[in-house]
Chain A
Amino acid sequence: MFERSPVTRLLPVMLGALISLAGTTAAHADATLDKIEQRHVLVVGVLLSGGPFGGIDPATQKPRGLNVDLAQELGRQLGAQVQLVPVLPANRVQFLQQGKVDLLIANMEWTPERGEILGSVPTPFYRVGGSAAVLKDSPIARWEDLKDQPVCTSQGSSYVKPLTEFGAQIKAFKSSSESLLALRGNNCVAAVHDATLINPLLADSAEWQGYRALTPELNPAPSVIWTRRGETDTQARLDPIVQELHRSGWLIEAQTRNHITPASPALVELQQKFQASGA
């Protein structure tokens, strides 16, 4: 959008006055690493939709969850003050591209399409695939059965594409919260989200007893920390930190602390891998 200043002059007067704000003085962040080292701030976009990965503490109204813990830990190790920006699945990519946030820790899995437009830290901090909550007596047994069925999910979710390929009719909501309520209102036959959201819900909550999860996981993919495209310095700086968080067991501990169930086998696997490769 910052390249569009010719437009702003040509729009009608009253719009022009406003949009010229957009055209004139927008800042271009340097490489994120420069900003961290010079301004000592790290702006991280986190997804706070409720649940163990990101939510808010009702007493203090502070963000909490694994996303938040990880952001704080990165900031601590980089010696930068962490500013958390809540993002939505629908706007997180734009926020990163615009430079409003420098990193995304927002339950966003690595996909080849995203890999083309954004950069990421090579070592993942989690691995997760999609799962669908469906009624226990629903005839849906495989992902292919979702063809021509209404399916609820959130806007900008990475499962929109594979679901479209199955031929499902997508109903995309602002966040998982509305999507799950819409499922319970029978406005769709399945709600598709990260398995880390669906599984604990179905396992722990008495209210979800009438539902089951669809297996196997849809497109299991590594959850990574996203950066802007080409910011390899930042990626190189962060990668050893994430590896060390695996090796030391910090991530496994953070998973337990945030009551993420079932525990991810991928975390154990990654811990062993980095412990074997030696400190």
Chain B
Amino acid sequence: MAIESVCMALLQWSPALIAGFGQNILISLLAIGLGTVLGLLVGMLALSPWRLLRLPARLWVQVFRNAPWLVLIYFTTYVFPFEIHVGSAYIPFPDWVKVTIGLALPASANVAEILRGAVASIPGTQWEAARSLAFSRWQIAVSIIMPQCLKRMLAPWMNLYAVVTMGTALASLVGVHDVIDTAQIASNTVNLTGFTVLVYLSLLVLFFAYCYPISRLTQRLERRYAFY
């Protein structure tokens, strides 16, 4: 009887939990997208021959790689404004977007590092060989180095995506209504020990079900490109 009512409650709350998890996934996708674009940009600056471009890029990577994600999320949620005033229009700047930015910042620093690692793994002789064929630096980077880098970057990039997805769990701490927030409201509303145990375990299951396949795929890719 007790078990039945606990399962009924979980069934009743499962649409809410799944909707909450959808919020987590949305944040993770946007964060990795934004982080990748920013990270590639910063990564390319960090590889630039000019000190003036290289230095700020290095600083960016250092600052955002060494900061706890939680602190960065607090930073973006509490320091950024809640709406942006463009002309006479008010564009709201909701918390989940701020969390997305808070996750995209460290993600971008990691993407920049992944890019640096991939470029470093291409033998320097390729640059020299291409230069001797009168390629410009930009041409070498775009048509010779990058295509090889992309393959090597795929596995660590996917790994990063899994980490970002798990990072979205922190969103609940700044009041974003995500899957963990939903679980806590549910546990507080239903108020049965069995249900509380079940709802927290289902959080583990949800994240695992999403991240484990990504991690397996990453391992397969790593093996495939290990000896290139």
Contacts and interface: CB of A to CB of B under 8 A. Distances in A.
The reply, when asked whether chain A contacts chain B directly with Cβ atoms under 8 A, is yes
Contact of B81 (A22, A87, A174): A22
A61 B84 contact: no
Contacts of A49: 184-185, 188
A27 B90 contact: yes
Contact of A56 (B90, B173, B182): B182
A14 B57 CA distance: 8
B66 interface: no
A27 B196 CA distance: 41
Interface stretch (B10-18, B113-121, B140-148, B204-212): B10-18
A177 B184 contact: yes
Which one of A2, A26, A99 has the greatest number of beta carbons of chain B within 10 Å?
A: A26
Contacts of B175: 86-88, 91
Contacts of B105: 18
Contacts, number: 99
A22 B79 contact: yes
Contacts of B56: 12-14
A58 B188 contact: no
Interface in B16-51: 16, 19
Contacts of A117: none
A51 interface: yes
B189 interface: yes
B83 A177 contact: no
A26 B185 contact: no
Given A13-B59, A55-B189, A25 B15 contact: no
Per DSSP, chain B at the interface is: helix
Nearest to A23: B81
A50 B185 contact: yes
Interface in B176-219: 177, 182, 184-189, 191-193, 196
B81 A50 contact: no
A59 B15 contact: yes
A42 B213 CA distance: 44
Interface string A66-98: 000000000000000000001110010011001
A116 interface: no
Contacts of A95: 82
Contacts of A174: 172-173
Contact of A61 (B16, B59, B101): B16
A98 B82 contact: yes
B16 A56 contact: yes
Contact of B191 (A26, A86, A205): A205
Contacts of B16: 56, 58, 61
Given A15-B63, A27-B84, A27-B90, A50 B184 contact: yes
A98 B79 CA distance: 10
Interface string A1-26: 11000000000111100110110011
B189 A207 contact: no
Nearest to B175: A88
A177 B85 contact: no
A99 B93 CA distance: 12
A268 interface: no
Interface in A223-263: none
Contacts of A205: 191
Nearest to A181: B196
A176 interface: yes
B60 interface: yes
Nearest to B89: A27
Considering residues B82, B84, B177, which has the most beta carbons from chain A within 10 angstroms of its beta carbon? Answer: B82
B17 to A, nearest CB: 9
B188 to A, nearest CB: 3
5 contacts: A27-B83, A50-B186, A58-B13, A177-B185, A207-B192
**Which are the 10 A-B pairs with shortest beta-carbon distances?**
A50-B188, A100-B82, A26-B81, A27-B85, A50-B189, A177-B188, A14-B60, A50-B185, A177-B184, A88-B175
Interface of A: 1-2, 12-15, 18-19, 21-22, 25-27, 48-51, 55-56, 58-59, 61, 86-88, 91, 94-95, 98-100, 174-178, 180-181, 201, 205, 207
Interface of B: 12-13, 15-16, 19, 56, 59-60, 63, 78-86, 90, 101, 105, 172-175, 177, 182, 184-189, 191-193, 196
Given A55-B188, A95-B82, 17 more contacts: A1-B79, A12-B59, A14-B63, A18-B105, A26-B81, A26-B82, A27-B83, A49-B184, A50-B184, A51-B189, A58-B16, A58-B186, A88-B174, A94-B78, A98-B82, A177-B187, A205-B191
